[in-house]
Amino acid sequence: DCCHEILGHCPMLADANFAQFSQELGLASLGASDDEIDKLATHALTDKANVLAFDPAITIETEPIITAFQNVYFYTESFNEAKLQMREFAKTIKRPFGLRYNPYTQTVDVLTNTRKIANIVSELKGDLCIVTNALSKLKVSDTESLNR
């Protein structure tokens, strides 16, 4: 199964959307109960199964079979759609804190007070400043191109 994992799944992490989906799935499991983690760990193994649209609320109720092929596969139109659905599902996990992956320190921030949340807002403001600056440069560049 190492070949399956390394050759089949690792290259998918090079895709930013899939990597973010994987990160959010991991964050959803932190602080979750064993029952909720079991629900997040359900999967399918064969193309002979029924195919249903991905819905975390339905997927978690589908019993995974580890000694034989699965009865049901779940699909999604895109990783973005799956990420949105997982975010909504993660909101239903009962825990007394919020979580955020910090890409700068490569750590998980446990959001337990307003100071920590204010720090994230400050980081977001800085990121928005960078994006706004880049957009203004694109507008100038586009305007100069039109005037030529």
Binding residues for Fe cation: 4, 9
Q: Note every long-range contact of 49-58, with CB atoms under 8 Å and residues 24 or more positions apart, other chains counting.
A: 49/73, 51/75, 54/81, 54/82, 54/85, 55/85, 56/85, 56/86, 56/88, 56/89, 57/89
Q: Which residues are annotated as a binding site?
A: 4, 9
φ and ψ at residue 33, rounded to 5 degrees: -70, 165
Other CB atoms closer than 10 Å to residue 21's CB: what's the count?
24
Place of tokens 């446990």: 110
